[in-house]
Chains A and B, each alone.
Chain A
Amino acid sequence: MNAQRGETKEQQLVVVRLDRERYGVPIEHVHEIIRMQEVTRIPRAPSFVEGVINLRGQVIPVIDLRRRFGLAAGERNGASRIVVVEMNGSRVGMVVDAVLEVMRLPDSAVVPPEELLAASEVAFLRGVAKQGDDLILLLDLQRVLEVHEQRELAELQTA
């Protein structure tokens, strides 16, 4: 709404770090950011589903973004955070290496991911923004959280 009305269209992002890359999560989907905590494993879940945690009495699933993106497992340390996002009515936590900042990004800075990245990397992205020398990869949460297609894939592979 704002973006349509305003003269300079912009979006607000929570910028997180994963491996050496910076990713932007649309702030309107971020429910809260919490410290890493012990996760209870869930049987027969897709491999990127780390398990469930207790968020003030609510049991919510947590996914490991590194695994989701096929990156090597990283070390969990004091900087690790769980970004709790709300999507289609359910809350899901995403484990990231660190939360860096909240920033405003003019829409004009965003280009389609295909222009800058290899095809394999763009599956979870809705765009890329250049910021100085850095790139911010904008997450497409809908695809990041999509669990069913992944589950079917896993079933196909084991069949």
Chain B
Amino acid sequence: MQLQRLLPVFLSEADEHLQALEEGVLQLERQGPNPELVAGLFRSAHTLKGSAGALGFQRMAELAHALEEVLEALRAGRGGDGLADLLLECVDTLRALRQEVSDGGERTDVQALVERLRAWKEGGAEDGLPVDVRVRLREDCPMRAARALALLRVLREHAEVEQVAPPEEAIAQGQLELEFTARVRAREPEALQELLAGPEVESVRVMPAGEARDERWLDLGPQARGKLPDDPELTRRASLRTVRVDVERLDRLMNLVGELVVDRIRFQQIAERLRRLDGANGLAQELAEAAGHLGRVASDLQAQVLKARMLPIEHLFSRFPRYVRDLAQRAGKRVEVVVEGQDTELDRSVIEQIGGPLMHLVRNAVDHGIEPPEERQRLGKPTAGRLRLAAVQEEEGILVVVEDDGRGIDTDRVREKAVGLGLLTAEAAARLSEEEAVELIFHPGLSTASQVTDVSGRGVGMDAVRAGVQALGGSVEVETQRGRGTRFTLRLPLTLAIVRALLVSCGGERYAIPLAGVQEIVEVPADRVHRLGSYRATVLRGNALPVVSVHEALGLPAPENPGRLLCVVTGGRRRVGLWVDRVLGEGEIVVKPLGSYLGQVDGVSGATILGDGRVALILDPSALVRLALREEELAHVG
């Protein structure tokens, strides 16, 4: 019972600590150890060890403990060269354990890893850790030089003295104020303090080598570990007034708010009818006012609940430095990741769903975009490629940019491939503009990878990226310049829970079509639609446009008299004219899932509740285009 209550808290804290560890290790790898960084890492490992131990997750606790010891050595001044891989492996294993704990129990064996961590630590102790020992004599100490030289002798018995400042000759000649500092390698640097203490000695300080001037270390004894007194992060965290809320609760709240909005509309309708019944009575007016107020409160409430569902995109971006590091290492490349706009907020469902597409773009950039270091050097570029991940809020939504400074998309190769795959004739390919040729990368099955790596695989499609983003009601654009790089721009809605949509009626049913997928609405007289076998098309500004009714696309019986309005919807580069009877309006709709019972309904992305309480289906434009064109292809074959 206790465990069940504590587990969710533990898991989400573990996630935070693991993330902090990973980020810290990457920073360690880039910049080398610095006291604040190592102290932060130590804190995370320490907390993780404590809470895992408290809940009885022995393996996690043991591994975190071994990690803590390694960090301790690092903090005592041990160099961290080549340690990053081992530490990251630790983070990965802890992460795996965290998942296992949430699934029911620890399974991954940690023994081997713990041994390796210990070996690293022990290995360090044999050489001895380089530390600086600063000894300050008391002012009334007689024969300072002799005393100092005597202390150095003691020091030599227990440690290897590499350097003394001021130098021993100078001390022997009397050039000593009150302090001297020795750089030594010692098995147990902590013991030196006691060893050197004596009546003539004012103080002995043992510091990691090279940190002698950093005053922050002075107060740090073993008791103080993990408690940097002036750590701004620590104070900031303590003062945050946040509460963890189960996402399901927010979803339920969102549902209830939606209901409130519907009720408000009904109130207004009732008030309107009342007013017509007895215009003189002020009661109708009062009811209308109350309903209006209810409406304002409801929309405020809705905005607040939506806000509560937002998360900074940092939750997603923070995974990438590590991911890119591993990718680059495998590909033998050097890549520097620049992340911008981490604070930009998005609905958590959007964040959950763009992870896949973003990873794909990043992987492509590292694998195919950024050149190997030698090639970059030859081209006069910095050897490390630059991968930029940025998020910006715009009025209507969020822009997420994935940009590299690599070789750009080779449109000639793309054309060649498309022709090779039989997607286009050579003549048609030659006629394509540069932009159109670039767009080909979104065609299923086409990949520009000249070599197949185990990461990118073969032909893992950009079409999946585009489809994924479009399913969210967003879009993907690409700009590329040969030799200079490629930039993908994802336009995403702020939230999935609410989208702007067109409300149409067709055959007596009402449907919502997300505006992101609607290109335009045109009126086309029936005689301008031509029947070609079983499929129909019209000509729109010189281009053929396939035409289907909503019902045909959905596989429902078609209404007898199709309307004259065509709603032109897009899916990737392809478009289709959807026949609708009437356009009822445009507005924001709250998106609801159809639920697991019905499963995936082709052509439908969800449902929404209209002002009158009825349910309207939300059409998925790209799926409709796919469905409509598949039927067209079949018609050609038949």
Residues of A in contact with B (beta carbons under 8 Å apart): 38, 40-45, 49, 51-54, 56-61, 89-92, 145, 147
Contact = CB atoms under 8 A, between A and B. Distances in A.
A58 B595 CA distance: 9
B503 to A, nearest CB: 13
Given A43-B603, A44-B554, A49 B258 contact: no
Contact of B597 (A40, A58, A90): A90
A53 B601 contact: no
B60 to A, nearest CB: 30
Contacts of A40: 509, 607, 614-617
A59 B594 CA distance: 6
- Residue of A41, A52, A53, A91 with most chain B CB atoms under a 10 A cut-off: A52
Interface string B296-333: 00000000000000000000000000000000000000
Nearest to A45: B598
Contacts of A91: 595
A45 B595 CA distance: 13
A52 B594 contact: yes
A56 B259 contact: yes
Contact of B601 (A45, A90, A145): A45
Contacts of A145: 597
A158 to B, nearest CB: 11
A60 B601 contact: no
B150 interface: no
Given A54-B613, A57-B262, 17 more contacts: A40-B614, A40-B617, A41-B556, A42-B601, A43-B604, A44-B554, A44-B602, A44-B603, A49-B598, A52-B594, A53-B615, A54-B609, A56-B256, A59-B594, A61-B594, A90-B596, A92-B597
A41 B607 CA distance: 11
9 contacts: A38-B614, A42-B598, A42-B601, A43-B601, A43-B617, A44-B603, A52-B615, A61-B594, A147-B597
- Residue of B554, B596, B617 with most chain A CB atoms under a 10 A cut-off: B617
A92 B613 CA distance: 18
B108 interface: no
A43 B603 CA distance: 9
B4 to A, nearest CB: 18
A60 B598 CA distance: 9
B382 interface: no
Interface in B499-556: 509, 554-556
Interface in B587-615: 592-599, 601-604, 607, 609, 613-615
Given A52-B615, A54-B613, A59 B592 contact: yes
A52 B601 CA distance: 12
- Residue of A42, A52, A53, A57 with most chain B CB atoms under a 10 A cut-off: A57
Given A38-B614, A45-B598, A61-B597, A52 B259 contact: no
Interface string B227-261: 00000000000000000000000000001101100
Closest 10 pairs between A and B when the two form their complex, measured CB to CB = A43-B554, A57-B255, A57-B259, A40-B615, A59-B592, A59-B607, A90-B597, A54-B609, A57-B258, A61-B597
Interface string B59-97: 000000000000000000000000000000000000000
Contacts of B616: 40
Contacts of B604: 42-43
Nearest to B261: A57
Given A42-B601, A52-B607, A58 B509 contact: no
Contacts of A51: 615
Contacts of A44: 554-555, 601-603
A145 B599 CA distance: 13
A38 B614 CA distance: 7
B592 A58 contact: yes
B194 to A, nearest CB: 64
A102 B256 CA distance: 30
Interface in B256-275: 256, 258-259, 262
A79 to B, nearest CB: 22
A53 B555 CA distance: 21
A57 B602 contact: no
- Residue of A45, A58, A60, A145 with most chain B CB atoms under a 10 A cut-off: A58
A51 B598 CA distance: 9
Interface in B189-214: none
Interface string B366-406: 00000000000000000000000000000000000000000
Nearest to B550: A43
Contacts of B255: 56-58
B620 to A, nearest CB: 11
Contacts of B509: 40-41
Contacts of A38: 614
A48 to B, nearest CB: 12
A44 B603 CA distance: 10
A54 B601 contact: no
A59 B593 contact: yes
Nearest to B556: A43
B609 A57 contact: yes
A44 B598 CA distance: 10
A141 to B, nearest CB: 12
A41 B509 CA distance: 8
Interface in B563-606: 592-599, 601-604
Contacts of B259: 56-57
A58 B601 CA distance: 17
Nearest to B607: A59
Contacts of A59: 592-595, 607, 609, 615
A126 B401 CA distance: 58
Contacts of A56: 255-256, 259
A28 to B, nearest CB: 19
Contacts of B601: 42-45
A57 B509 CA distance: 20
A57 B593 CA distance: 11
A9 to B, nearest CB: 30
Contacts of B594: 42, 52, 59, 61
Contacts of B599: 147
A53 B244 CA distance: 32
A90 to B, nearest CB: 5
A55 to B, nearest CB: 10
